[in-house]
Structure 1
Amino acid sequence: MEYLALIHADEGAWERLSDEERDAAYEQYAEFAGAAEAAGVLVGGDELGPTSSATTVRIRDGRRLVTDGPYAEVKESLGGFFILNCSTYDDALDWAARIPAAGHGAVEVRPVHVDPEE
């Protein structure tokens, strides 16, 4: 079963890191991704652009409304994701706990919906 691990963190804290600190953080993510790939768990994942690059689209009364920025103002914004293929929910939670952001932000885990008709 596939699980989506959504990485939430304080975007401002990331922006305040030095280049060396960011490089160290990227190395931690690379180590996690390498371990997950070696274990056959990693399906995919990526870092997202900053919330300042986000655009939100809604349809209201048949009209498209476009708003610059993310959907909501939050302290911890969505910064990236991994898709993990695990045999159990507990295994997905164990892998999510190894994602570096779990130590300073939050990692939300959700099962990827499977259509029973397919």
Structure 2
Amino acid sequence: MRYTLLLHYPEMTADDLGPEAIAEAMREFDAYAKALHAAGVLESAEVLQPSQVTTTLTAPDGTLRVQDGPFADTKEQLGGTFVVDVADLDEAISWAGKSPSIAWGAVEIRPTATRFVDGEWTAMT
């Protein structure tokens, strides 16, 4: 079963974190991604750029509005995703609990409902 692990955590600049903390986080995420890959469950992973470079679109009345920045004004932002294909929710929870970001934020686990591959939509069951 496919799940997306959504990593939410407080955003900080490189200056806020410092080079040592950035290097340590990069090592931890590299090891995490390699462990997922070695287990044969990693489908993809992406680290997102900071939320201040986000562009959000809305059209509540049919008129397209383009807004700079994230839609939600929160202290925590979506920082990255890992898509895994595992046996069940228990295994997804186990892997999510090993995410380095669990120490400073939340990891949301969301099952895939449908996916688009090779020109076709496929319902996931």
- TM-score with structure 1 setting the length: 0.93
| Cα drift, residue 106 of structure 1 | 0.7
- Which is further off, 76-85 or 8-17? 8-17
SS at match of 1:63: coil
Task: Give the match for residue 16 of structure 1.
Answer: 16
SS at match of 1:26: helix
Q: 1:49 to 1:15 in 2, by over 3 A?
A: farther
- The answer on 1:91 being equivalent to 2:58 is no
| Cα drift, residue 84 of structure 1 | 0.7
Give ranges in structure 2 of 5+ residues lacking alignment: 115-121
How large is the Cα RMSD of the aligned pairs? 1.6
Question: Which structure has more helix as a fraction of its residues?
Answer: 1
Code of the aligned partner of 2:81 = F
Q: 1:9 to 1:61 in 2, by over 3 A?
A: same
Q: 1:44 to 1:116 in 2, by over 3 A?
A: closer
Task: Give the match for residue 6 of structure 2.
Answer: 6
Code of the aligned partner of 2:78 = L
How many residue pairs match? The answer is 117
Runs ≥4 in structure 1, deviation > 3 angstroms?
114-117
Task: Give the match for residue 27 of structure 1.
Answer: 27
- Mapping 1:1-118, distance limit 5 Å: 1-12=1-12, 16-114=16-114, 115-116=122-123
Code of the aligned partner of 1:40 = G
Code of the aligned partner of 2:103 = G
- Which is further off, 11-20 or 96-105? 11-20
Distance 1:94 1:36 in 2: 11
Q: 1:116 to 1:48 in 2, by over 3 A?
A: closer
Distance 1:48 1:13 in 2: 13
Code of the aligned partner of 2:10 = D
